[in-house]
Amino acid sequence: MIVDNPLGGPYMSGCVKGLQMHRVLHAPDRLKRPLLRTGPRGSGEFKEVGWPEALDLVAERLTEIRDRYGNEAIIRLGGSGACNGALHNTGLLTMRFLSQFGGYTDIEGYYSSQAAQYVTPYVLGTRSVGIDPGTLQHTGLIILWGANISDTRLEVPMEARIREAKVRGVEVIVVDPRRTSTAKTLGTQWISVRPGTDTALMLAVLHVLIEEDLVDRGFVERYSVGFKELERYVLGEEDGAPKNPAWAEEICGTPADVIVQLARQWGQTHPTAFIPGLSIQRTVGGEEAIRMAIALQVATGNLGVLGGSSGGLTWGRLPSPRIGVIGAPQNPTQVSIPAYQWPDAILEGRRGGYSSDIKAIYNVGGNFLIQGSDVNKNIRAFSEVEFSVCHERFMTPTAKYCDVVLPVTTFLERSDIVVPDGGNYLLFSSQAVPPLYEARNDYDIFCELAERLGFLQEYSEGRGEEEWLRDFVADSEVADYEEFKREGLYMGGDQLRVGLSDFVADPEAHPLGTPSGRVQILSEAYADLGFTAVPAYRGLRADDRHPLMLVTPKSRFRVNSQNDNIPWFRERELHGLWMNPRDAEERGIDDGGEVQVSSPEGRVRVTVIVTEDIMPGVVCLLEGVWPIFDSEGVDTAGSANFLTSTVPTEPSKGSRTHSILVQVTKA
């Protein structure tokens, strides 16, 4: 029987994906032995071979490409497969190996949070701006903006804390184009907004706060610079266009009276915890949404106070308890490309302005072929390189385009220490079963390759799994390794941390790492990049050819694309294109019918789900589905990234997978 760790108390419980992990472990399509490609790339034609033959070939081909083209001809992809492990960390292990091999072309930035990670330091001088979920017991209002907490759990206790607050009588406002699971189960109010227009809605909220004298002027003056310039922009003193609720309604689709009500609740309730999701910064102009969110929390006096929040991502990486992790030396080539544009870098190379001509892909812990935007372009990129290798558990779409596929373990087949993104605790993940079939840990695979290539001692430092984990704990605040391993959970002492609280308590003693030492609502450094000094709305508008706006959120039953091949998970969530009845009626589309969704990048065919749970003018297709091609090469499974673009939001070069314009017709 699988049960929650009782030491976690009432706020830490497992999610459905973890509780059902045995279905992944024992899936009949688990890869059992190393595979070498025998047919065309993408055909899925492979033969099983022994580990020595597979590893000899990988070492040989990597050496050949390095010697012919230089180390920068090898690109590192992946990382998210085990991104929180202290040892079995797919990103760090690959960086460690390729650095000691002489270097590589790295991917810079984050698919998940690049715009926010990039812009937050311009405003706050740090990325450590989150809150511990326990602080929500002190809040008077919770605003979940593009944050589907129930389906995508980035902070384990967050959902339980919000549910507790709701029971206590706290209003929970959910701002989202969809009536999500969070809106239905945690929310007291759903406010719909067109994707990518969040900044415009926030500007209108600030307009109401200013007009109705709800701005905390004392807080603004003490802790920030540039609010007066933002105020002039909001009031339209510079461009003659007040950013009032009527202005925002035309852009956002959110009724003006609803905007006024939201602003009044926000301005009259203190403290307010404003929790933005990753989604609002995965848009064209997503950087501005984060800047504006922070500005609103400053304007209402909620930054750095107990029960409030900064307006930055709650996934704000407050320090975890001190623990060692596997290290990766600096990449000797110091060559990198934006993560969001890896296929462009492969296809265009130096002639396209990129730093290297890439000839080989080493992919560990990522299904990049369908998780990267513009799948058609990704296929061309994988087809272009001379050699590709991946570590995988299943024959994913990415694995089908690789030359060598090496079978790896799940977390149930190895031991590790898990370091969460921001939570003040550590987890010990004990091995539950020996590795099945011939699966190996990523670490052990790299050790064997390093031995063949002459740097095993440098890579392993003579340590196996147990030695590494003991050393990590010895260099930590955890007192007893055996106790930690037995109990599986170490809680840090303070579970009520508020990012930037020391700054708010004494801004002179604890200034921010910004030019002024205060919150830079106006940033000259950001303006030097060619963008506005204060937050300003910029986004896509639908057109006649592509009149609908597409969002591509996460599934409750998948981690990105993981689990799509597992029937138990797939059967619990009907996959289809969400469409409002008004948009369906205009197109003569019936619920359950098959439709074609097209964008400038591609098209898919998929079943339509006609529902009031999505606002008019917006459609939704959950990301992460593995494609199925018909005889004409069109995906009939509804894999969302056939429709997305690799053109990033600027200046961060971040994802804009919620800024996609499409048309929908009967198939």
pLDDT one-digit tens code per residue, 615-648: 999 999 999 999 999 988 899 999 999 999 999 9
Q: Is 566 left (phi over 0), alpha (psi -120 to 50) or beta?
A: beta
H-helix or E-strand containing 481? helix 481-487
Closest among 282, 394, 150 to 657, alpha carbons compared? 282
Position 1 pLDDT exceeds 70 = no
How much is the average pLDDT of 528-553?
95
Look up the pTM and report it: 0.96
Share of the chain above pLDDT 90, in %: 91
| Tokens matching residue 286 | 């997503």
Residue in 267, 329, 320 with CA at minimum distance from that of residue 298 = 267
Asked whether the predicted pLDDT for residue 4 surpasses 90, the reply is: no
- Residue length of the chain: 667
pLDDT at 313 over 90: no
CATH architecture for segment(s) 548-666: Beta Barrel (2.40)
Instruction: Tell me the CATH number for domain 116-314+506-527.
Output: 3.40.228.10
Segment 67-73 mean pLDDT: 98
Answer yes or no: are the C-beta atoms of 116 and 283 closer than 8 Å: no
Banded model confidence at residue 316, pLDDT cuts 50, 70, 90: low
Q: CB under 8 Å to 9, separation ≥6 — which residues?
A: none
How confident is the model at residue 9, as a pLDDT?
Answer: 86
Mean pLDDT over each residue of the chain, to the nearest integer = 96
pLDDT grade, residue 110 (50/70/90)? confident
Q: Which residue has the higher pLDDT, 543 or 442?
A: 442
Express each pLDDT in 464-523 by its tens digit.
999 999 999 998 999 999 999 999 999 999 999 999 999 999 999 999 999 999 999 999
Between β-strands 548-551 and 660-666, what pairing exists: parallel, antiparallel or unpaired? antiparallel
568: pLDDT strictly greater than 90: yes
pLDDT of res. 82: 83
Sorted by where each begins, the domain ranges of the chain are 6-11+27-112+321-491, 116-314+506-527, 548-666
Structure tokens at 202: 């926030």
Map residue 426 onto helix, strand or coil: strand
pLDDT, tens only, 154-197: 788 999 999 999 999 999 999 999 999 999 999 999 999 999 99
Give the alpha-carbon dihedral of 433, 437, 443, 446, to 10 degrees: 170
Higher-confidence position of 334 and 152: 334
Confidence of residue 338 (pLDDT cuts 50, 70, 90): very high
Q: What is the per-residue burial (b if ≥16 Cβ within 10 Å, else e) of 284-300?
A: bbbbbbbbbbbbbbbbb
pLDDT mean over 282-306: 98
Contacts of 540-545 with C-beta under 8 Å, sequence gap 24+, read: 540/196, 540/284, 540/659, 540/661, 542/617, 542/661, 543/661, 545/663
Q: What percent of the chain has pLDDT over 70?
A: 100
From 73, 78, 654, 652, select the one nearest 349 (Cα to Cα).
Answer: 73
pLDDT score for 407: 98
Res 79 pLDDT > 90 = no
When the candidates are 3.40.50.740, 3.30.420.40, 3.40.50.300, 3.30.70.260, the CATH number that belongs to 6-11+27-112+321-491 is: 3.40.50.740
